[in-house]
Amino acid sequence: MDKRVVVLASGSGSNLQALLDHPATSGAVRGVLTDRAGAGALERAAGAGVDAEAVAFRDYDERADWAEALAEATAALRPDLVVLAGFMRILPGAFVERWPTLNVHPSLLPAFPGAHAVEAALDWGVKVTGCTVHLVDEEVDHGPIVAQACVAVEEGDDVASLHARIQAVEHRLLPEAVALFCADRLSVDGRHVRIQP
C-alpha cells in the first residue's frame, strides 16, 4: 500500500521541497498544512500540485480551537504519516497519538532541544552539532531517534552560517527517514528505532 504523507510547515518550506524532490518521497506527499497564511511552503506545495491549506494560528482565540481545526484538516487528508518540516508549534498529545509523526530538529538530540538549538550550540561552544529526525511524542524534541547526522562547527560560524549547513544535511536526512517509514522499514522498541532490511 502506498503511504500518504502530510507535511506541516511554518516557514519557507525548504525541507518540504527536499521531500518533493526526492524520488522515494515525492509521490507520497499528499498534503501540506501551515500555521501561517503567508508561509512559503504553500507556494512550494502549489508548484508541485499538492493540496495545501493554511490553518493560521492567529485566526483562533484559543490554542485548543486551533489544534482542533488543524486535526480536522489533517484528518481530511488521511495521512499514514505526518512530517513536521520546520513546524514551529507544539502539537497536543491527542494529535501525535492519532498519527505517527516525524520531526527534523537542528541539533544532535538530546542536546539543545527547543526553538533556539543552533544558537544554543554556538553559545555552548560545541565543536560538532548536527540534525536529528525523531518520532514525536508529547514532550518537545524528545521522541525516539530515527536518524542523526553530524555537522562540524567552524571557526567564525554565526547562527545563519551554521544553520545553513545543518539545513543542507536535513534536506538529505529527512527524506531518507520518511522513505524508510513509507517502506515499512522502521520498528520502535521503547526509545530505540530499528531499521529493518
Mean pLDDT of the chain: 96
- pLDDT of 134-188, one tens digit each? 999 999 999 999 999 999 999 999 999 999 999 999 999 999 999 999 999 999 9
Establish whether 116 is a catalytic residue: no
Q: Is 24 exposed, middle or buried (0-12, 13-18, 19+ CB in 10 A)?
A: middle
Confidence of residue 126 (pLDDT cuts 50, 70, 90): very high
Q: From CA 60, how far away is CA 23, in angstroms rounded? A: 37
pTM: 0.96
Q: Are 126 and 166 in contact (CB under 8 A)?
A: no
Which CATH architecture best describes the domain 5-195?
Answer: 3-Layer(aba) Sandwich (3.40)
Residues 49-75: what's their mean pLDDT?
A: 96
Confidence of residue 1 (pLDDT cuts 50, 70, 90): low
Which position among 22, 105, 163, 171 bears the catalytic label?
105
CB atoms inside a 10 Å sphere around CB 128 = 11
Q: Are 1 and 81 in contact (CB under 8 A)?
A: no
Domain ranges of the chain: 5-195
Q: Is 131 exposed, middle or buried (0-12, 13-18, 19+ CB in 10 A)?
A: buried
